[in-house]
Amino acid sequence: MGCGGSKEDESKIKIIFVIGGPGCKKGTICKKLEQEFGFIHMPIRDILKSVVINKMGDNWEELLNDVKKGKSISSEKLLSYIKIVIINSQFKKILLDGFPRNLENLNEWNNIMNEISIVIGLIYFEVTEEIMKKKLIEMNEENEEEEEEEEEEKEKEEKKMKEDKEKLMDEKIQNFIKHSKPIIDIFNEQERLITVNASIENVVDVYYETKNAFKDKKWHKN
């Protein structure tokens, strides 16, 4: 990983990883960075959609089946999808939104992507657990409206379902914190980390904090 100045480095695709929990506004901020600094915003979910829609590679049908069945995608498979989309996009400066999700992702990236890319750094949008849970509840309520049944569930069943959903939300938040910390520590030690306080309600303020840190790191000049 690392950012050098050799001719070989100059020919590589420049990548900035972007991570943050639910409600951190990273998608909105990435779009603004894209407009101002020319880094193309590529969320992982859009990469996976692109593989399926455009039938890219030999394993796109396998990905479609995995998504339909709600299966988790291994780091090896995920990186194969990312690689084919990034190469076909021909973009040279990318904000990779939602990656890496864990150390295994990062290690697999180093195995597969180092020959064609160079990671400039990591932007971490930090939010409180309260904000993450609030966002997950909002997302859950939206899904419930779309999937509302004709008959109401019994009160006892509804209570159990609510408790189960809250438990899953808490587990999701704790897993994000657990798996993100080692990655954040690595980039911090390498002085290639931007941490943004995304708990601020005003998205404009969050953007200016990100933008100023971006300029301080001189990432816009890569």
Neighbours of 207 (CB within 10 A): 21
Question: Helices then strands (H, E): number in the chain?
Answer: 9, 5
pLDDT tens-digit profile of 115-129? 999 999 999 999 999
Residue 37 falls inside a structural domain: yes
Could you give the CA distance from residue 222 to residue 220 in angstroms, rounded to a whole number? Answer: 6
Residue 59 falls inside a structural domain: yes
pLDDT at residue 160 in the model: 57
Residue 186 falls inside a structural domain: yes
pLDDT at residue 155 in the model: 62
pLDDT tens-digit profile of 32-85? 999 999 999 999 999 999 999 999 989 999 999 988 888 889 999 999 999 999
Residue 178 falls inside a structural domain: yes
Q: What is the CATH number of the domain that holds 152?
A: 3.40.50.300
Pairing mode, strands 117-126 and 40-43: unpaired
Tell me the average pLDDT across 175-204: 95
Q: How many domains does the chain have?
A: 1
Residue 107 falls inside a structural domain: yes
**CA angle, 194 as apex, 176 and 44 as ends, to 5°?**
50
Range of the domain at 31: 7-221
Distances (CA, A) of 212 to 166, 195, 205, 209: 37, 12, 11, 5
Residue 2 falls inside a structural domain: no
Say what the pTM is: 0.85
Residue 195 falls inside a structural domain: yes
**CA angle, 194 as apex, 192 and 197 as ends, to 5°?**
160
